[in-house]
């Protein structure tokens, strides 16, 4: 027989999963974050959320991200949820890895960068090579 405490724990667990699935990552981005929108190769919005990045004096970039899918896109790779990012900026071009430390199953962002925006191409690749890509824009509100 299941008691009230067990039922409450089960309800709380499933309730938290449901709220995560319906979470809007654009509602509470950190101060200074870029609001992110990623599109598939046909130009359809498939990812939204935020990127928070710090650039040091040597052009090294580190930060975090919170992204969620829009609809039910396929082949977008590991750019859902929360994560750390690392990258490098050179001459207003920024390259960022959303999955640093992994040699396989990566999403990278590459594009033009300034204090107000980061625009370019996201690419999902595995050890076999590129799987999919699309455009993205990250705007500081």
Give tens-digit pLDDT for 28-48: 899 999 999 999 999 999 999
pTM (2 d.p.): 0.78
Q: Does a structural domain hold residue 3?
A: no
Within 13 Å of residue 78, how many CA atoms lie on the same side as its CB?
A: 15
Q: Does a structural domain hold residue 37?
A: yes
Q: Does a structural domain hold residue 10?
A: no
Count of domains observed in the chain: 1
Asked whether residue 18 carries a pLDDT value surpassing 60, the answer given is no
Q: What is the pLDDT of residues 1-12, one digit of tens each?
A: 333 333 333 333
Q: Does a structural domain hold residue 116?
A: yes
- Residue 99: phi and psi, rounded to 5, are -135, 60
* Helix, coil or strand: residue 97: strand
Residues 87, 134: contact at Cβ < 8 Å? no
Q: Does a structural domain hold residue 14?
A: no
Domain that holds residue 53: 25-139
Q: Does a structural domain hold residue 49?
A: yes
Q: What is the pLDDT of residues 87-141, one digit of tens each?
A: 999 999 999 999 998 888 899 999 999 989 999 999 999 888 888 999 999 999 9
Q: Does a structural domain hold residue 55?
A: yes
CATH number of 102's domain? 2.40.128.120
Q: Residue 64 and residue 8: Cα distance in Å, rounded? A: 33
């Amino acid at each position: 027989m299941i008691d009230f405490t067990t039922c409450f724990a089960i309800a709380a667990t499933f309730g938290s999963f449901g709220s995560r699935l319906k979470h809007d990552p654009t509602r509470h981005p950190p101060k200074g974050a870029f609001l992110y929108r990623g599109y598939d190769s046909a130009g359809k919005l498939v990812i939204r959320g935020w990127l928070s990045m710090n650039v040091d004096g040597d052009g090294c970039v580190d930060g975090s991200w919170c992204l969620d899918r829009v609809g039910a896109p396929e082949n977008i790779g590991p750019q859902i949820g929360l994560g750390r990012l690392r990258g490098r900026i050179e001459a207003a071009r920024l390259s960022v890895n959303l999955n640093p430390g992994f040699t396989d199953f990566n999403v990278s962002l590459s594009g033009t960068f300034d204090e107000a925006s980061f625009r370019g191409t996201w690419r999902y690749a595995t050890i076999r090579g590129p799987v999919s890509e699309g455009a993205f824009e990250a705007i500081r509100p």
